[in-house]
Chains A and B, each alone.
Chain A
Amino acid sequence: MSELLFNELPRPTFRWLRVNHTPVSLWGESESTVRPEIDGKDSIITSLPAGAALINTNYKGANEEALQQLVNAGEGYRIQVPANTKEAVHIRIDGSHRVGSRFQFIVEEGAELEVQFYLDGTAKDATNIQYFDEYDVHANAKVVVKKVNLLGETVQHIEHRYTKLSDGADAEFINVEIGGQENLLNYDHDLQGEACNIVHDIAYLGNKEQKFDFSLVMTHGGKKSVSDIHTLGALSDKAKKSFRGTLDFLRGATGSEGAEEDTSLLLDPTVKSISLPLLLCKEDNVSGNHAASAGQIDANKLFYLMSRGFNEAEAKHMIVESMIRPIIDRIGDEAIEEAALAAVRNKI
């Protein structure tokens, strides 16, 4: 496949900046795909056939062609949580082989679902991990998705995620993105219901020539809907991060509130950080805020730690780890948290 344009900005800006999208060629396309492992109650997991309809047929994914190919070719899983029940699903994606899969989650009224994605492993040759997870969160239902990416350096990692929230629905998304060589993540969250609520926190840590390309869109259609995006991370060597975050308040989303914040800690002069925090608004009775900041480690913090006997490298380690750790601590699985922390320590 030739170069495709990923993570297109919902409202393009100056062309010469070359930030309106990310051109990417897919890796390891000749390899056949392997199914991920899924662990959960048998009664809620069924097979999702190739070509099965999307929850929102208008969702274009990180790239429309790549998503369509994935939908047409890849079998997947359908996870349906009955009303007023509570379930958990664990998914492991092994990066030693090419993966292409789908996960469709239906969380019925009043139900609760916790999903854990754990991605690790590395292939001998360049390979592609690509999956599409969709969430249809019914009225007053709740979904929590915790993802830890510890993939190896030969992996191109692409995630397409779409979420539909009904009245009073609640979603909490946590990403810890540490691995993978080229990470292209597209999150489209549709706040259709009244008084629905979503939080999406992403921690990342990049070194060498790693790329993190995040696209998050919060579309507020429902009244009194609330969204919050928070990305924070650190870059060293020649790592690059692009953040495209959009809060889109549609006409009628009265009383809604949205916030987005992108914080980058820059550890070497050769890193590159791009931030595009968009606010689109067609409704006056809303509150939208965004903030972006980038810079080095706070000299006062560094001085304080060094005055307590730590050398500069140790002090930097502690500061970076303490920034990311609050998000890692929310994963809730001790073994995975330890693996993530070990990966953080190895990278700094």
Chain B
Amino acid sequence: MEQRKKTQIADLDRGVYDIKNEFEYSYIANAGLTEDIVREIWANKKEPEWMLEFRLKSLDIYNRMGIPNWIPDISGLNMDNIHTYVKPKVDMKEDWNEVPEDIKETFDRLGIPEAEKTSLAGVGAQYDSEVVYHSIQEDLVKQGVIYTDIETALHEHEDIVKQYWMTLIPPTDHKWAALHGAVWSGGSFVYVPAGVHVEIPLQSYFRLNAPGAGQFEHTMIIVEEGAKVHFIEGCSAPKYDVSNLHAGAVELFVKDHATLRYSTIENWSKNMYNLNTKRAIVGKGGTIEWVSGSFGSRVSCLYPMSILNGEGAHAEFTGVTFAGEGQFLDTGCKVVHNAPYTTSNVNSKSISKSGGAAVYRGLLKIGPNAEHAKATVSCESLMLDDISQSDTIPAIIVENDNVDLGHEAKIGRISDEAIFYLMTRGISEEEARAMLVRGFVEPISKELPLEYAVEMNNLISLELEGSIG
């Protein structure tokens, strides 16, 4: 392999994502994390008594738990400087015209209302710690579909929320799950009754505007037996000089023969510590499909987990991670097969450049009861220069003989042979290289909703001068 000229890959023109609004709020918790702050958040949100107990128990767990030894360096994150709760100067609206002008403009720039008009069945928009807008199509309401902010759900559907609340991601799971349990605020609640197919997607967008703040939204989706829904989540924040923290939790309950597709693009700014937890439990014959793009943030630790508990349950994970200068994106996925005839496919791609580090960290566990389980994992990493880092750290645990399992991973740069082959077919060298980079991420981009696929293509805008090396 000879030495080649390196391609200059343009950093994302973060444009609309980096536009900051004036920092205004109706309430802000003091920086740091104390019992008084947790009590204040609870009182401010007028939650039931059991939630205070839950928050305080979580705080206690947080204080006793250490930081895992395997995660990237997060020494730049100081909880004493983080405001865990920032209430925007507006209550939740169901009419877009009632949302304050500056917040509305932010979401307008991100294309949220436009998307609602054209291709979404429901939209939620969170600004800092609270949801400021929520809507859902009338016909879905008539079919019993609930799509609202989690605070409203806690008051109007308390039994359901209490039954499922942090059962998939208990506060004892890890330090950031405990933090989430203590200071969570905002997020979406989706309930799809048995047999209902929501044909067009629901979308929530989480925007963190406040500097030095944390966003701890909680998303709970319950898809009852035989139901089907596609949920899209988008996240962004402008860049500040101080660190921000995102420690959300996503709990997905996919019942027997139900299907949930969860698509997400996390495009945080590079001062963000993104320590997010996502988990799904799938019943008999059910399907969970994850489509995941991780682009922004200074540090990310994100490993969506699928627990296949019902016979014949299926998980599909399609993910792409793009790490640029100053970023350490430790992402991947976990699949646990607990029942017979369960199947899973994992397809992960990563690109690292300009000193960025992209890590795929995965788990594939096939338990003793998962006879006839089938699983495939494919990880590919592309290094675009020699100052970056790309690691693959998979764990494969098999506790039963009747399985069919395959795992493969590749790391390297674009092959000279592939470029040569395309050039012999009359394609110019630059176009051949461009085709190969586009081809590398194509399996992911084709799974994304159109507007996000366009966003991703913009994100990976290539300057095709010189070689991709």
Residues in chain A within 8 A of chain B (CB atoms)? 11-15, 17, 19-20, 249, 251, 254-255, 264, 266-269, 271-296
Contacts and interface: CB of A to CB of B under 8 A. Distances in A.
Nearest to A11: B393
Interface of B: 1, 3, 68-70, 334, 361, 363, 365, 368, 371, 381, 383-413, 469
A269 B405 CA distance: 15
A289 B408 contact: yes
Given A11-B70, A12-B70, A251-B386, A267 B393 contact: no
Contacts of A269: 368, 371, 400-402
Nearest to A244: B395
Of B397, B401, B402, most buried by chain A (CB within 10 Å of CB) is B401
A249 B391 CA distance: 10
Contacts of B403: 266, 294-296
B130 to A, nearest CB: 33
A63 B59 CA distance: 37
B372 to A, nearest CB: 10
Contacts of A17: 363, 365, 395, 397
Given A13-B393, A17-B397, A274-B395, A294 B405 contact: yes
B384 A284 contact: yes
Contacts, number: 150
Contact of A254 (B1, B365, B387, B392): B1
B395 A266 contact: no
A288 B68 CA distance: 28
A291 B407 contact: yes
A288 B411 CA distance: 5
Contacts of B402: 266, 269, 296
B389 A281 contact: yes
7 contacts: A14-B361, A255-B1, A282-B389, A285-B413, A288-B411, A291-B408, A294-B398
Given A271-B401, A295-B403, A296-B402, A284 B385 contact: yes
Contact of A14 (B363, B391, B398, B408): B363
Nearest to B357: A282
A17 B402 CA distance: 21
A308 to B, nearest CB: 24
B469 A285 contact: yes
Contacts of B392: 277-280, 290
Contacts of A19: 395, 397
Contacts of A274: 395-398
Given A269-B401, A284-B384, A284-B412, 8 more contacts: A11-B393, A14-B334, A17-B363, A274-B395, A275-B398, A287-B1, A289-B408, A296-B402
Contacts of A286: 1, 411-412
A13 B383 contact: no
B190 to A, nearest CB: 28
Contact of B409 (A14, A251, A254, A289): A289
Given A13-B395, A292-B407, A268 B401 contact: yes
Contacts of A278: 391-394
A95 B336 CA distance: 40
B413 A276 contact: no
A275 B393 CA distance: 11
Contact of A277 (B365, B399, B407): B407
A274 B402 CA distance: 15
A247 B391 CA distance: 10
Given A14-B395, A276-B395, A290 B409 contact: yes
Contacts of B401: 266-269, 271, 295-296
